[in-house]
């Protein structure tokens, strides 16, 4: 799956978690812009892992701060 298709799928998965309807850009942060708390992050990561059949390690999760970084990480994990 290319980056654009991955981005579209992730945007679809974010929608139920995006309570404020924030417009997503690569720079949109999960903690700041989307106001995800730790429980929301865990639920969202589980959705991503299930949808793409990947595992995002805790170390990788700690480095992902925005939407663009998440897209790149998922593309890389899909190999």
CATH number for the domain harbouring residue 24: 1.10.1200.10
Q: Give residue-wise pLDDT tens across range 57-74.
A: 999 999 999 999 999 999
**For the chain, what is the domain count?**
1
pTM of the model: 0.93
Mean pLDDT of 39-49: 95
pLDDT at position 79, please? 86
Residues 76 and 70: their CA atoms lie apart, in Å, by 10
pLDDT at position 40, please? 95
SS3 content of the chain, % helix, strand, coil (to 5): 60, 5, 35
Domain of 20, in residue numbers? 3-78
User: In the numeric block, which tokens belong to residue 27?
Assistant: 């720079």
* Distance in angstroms between the alpha carbons of the first and the last residue of the chain: 9
Higher pLDDT, 24 or 1: 24
Residue 60 CB neighbours (<10 A): 15
| Percent of the chain whose pLDDT exceeds 90 | 95
């Amino acid at each position: 799956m290319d980056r654009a298709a991955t981005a579209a799928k992730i945007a679809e998965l974010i929608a139920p978690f995006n309570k404020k309807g924030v417009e997503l850009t690569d720079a949109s942060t999960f903690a700041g812009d989307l106001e995800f708390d730790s429980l929301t992050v865990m639920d969202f990561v589980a959705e991503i892992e299930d949808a793409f059949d990947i595992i995002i390690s805790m170390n990788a999760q700690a480095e992902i701060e925005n939407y663009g970084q998440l897209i790149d990480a998922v593309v890389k994990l899909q190999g």
